[in-house]
Amino acid sequence: MNKRKELYKILDTTGWLEQKQDNVLTPPLRALLQVPSTLAALELRPDTSIPLMFLNETAFGKSSFQTKLGANFVIFGPMFSGKSTELIRRMRRYQIAKHDCLLIKYANDDRYDKTDVVTHDRQSLPAVMAMELTKLKEKALQVEVIGIDEGQFFPDVSDFCEDMANEGKVVIVAALDGTFQRVGFGRILELVPLAESVVKLQAVCVICYSNASYTKRIGNEKEVRGLPLAQIS
């Protein structure tokens, strides 16, 4: 069972989660998991319900309770909506702040470059190629921030991201949320309930020039894993 789910179960059976607020509980839960003696240090009372962020500060103190908060951030959108541009912007910001970063690209995506993540307007950032994210787990554990481009193509994306977040890593994923058939793309939607933040960008429709929320396949190809070329509202 997932460690975070175990902690949820323990707290729930003791009455701590009578008032569940996921946006308050999720990050502190990850923080609590970084402290091995957390459960032993808690005085669980079935008649008490307080936000875990408050619990962190009162039970351990701000000075003694120091840990890295892991988190999943997801950037959705159709083709040409600026997902990779936003991913690169965030990664560069972390690099400027002197964080150790790892950017991962899907190995079969060589439209603009075989190694770098490249946007449609040719912004680029060096990346490591992979077909499966778990094969980069050892390398990922050595950094603080992990960026993943074209996340929809990785079959292990949800498991990998959750594992890394629980290890205290900041994970940023740029991905198509749906196929050109407007159904979930691979396992990417499994990240939604696991993420601290999910945003969906919009492109510009090449026909009517209004906001575009979906991707349209140009050509007669029916293979979903092929890289789509245009979008339409």
Each domain of the chain, given as residue ranges in start order, spans 3-60, 71-200
pLDDT at residue 29 in the model: 55
Burial class (CB in 10 A: 0-12, 13-18, 19+), 97: exposed
The pLDDT tens digits along the chain (233 residues) read: 555 555 556 555 555 444 444 444 444 455 555 544 444 344 433 444 434 433 333 333 343 334 467 999 999 999 888 899 999 999 999 999 999 999 999 988 777 666 778 777 777 788 999 999 999 999 999 999 999 999 999 999 999 999 999 999 999 999 999 888 888 899 999 999 999 999 999 999 988 999 989 888 776 666 655 544 434 33
Q: For the domain with range 71-200, which CATH number is right: 3.90.226.10, 3.10.150.10, 3.40.50.300, 3.40.50.2300?
A: 3.40.50.300
* Total Cβ atoms within 10 A of residue 151: 31
pLDDT at residue 182 in the model: 83
Helix (H) or strand (E) holding 76: strand 71-76
Q: Catalytic annotation on 57?
A: no
pLDDT at residue 134 in the model: 96
Q: What is the DSSP letter of 70?
A: P
pLDDT at residue 45 in the model: 38
pLDDT at residue 31 in the model: 55
**Placement of tokens 């998991």 in the chain:** 33
Which of the residues 6, 57, 144, 150 is marked catalytic? 150
Given a contact cutoff of 8 angstroms between Cβ atoms, the answer to whether 108 and 97 are in contact is no
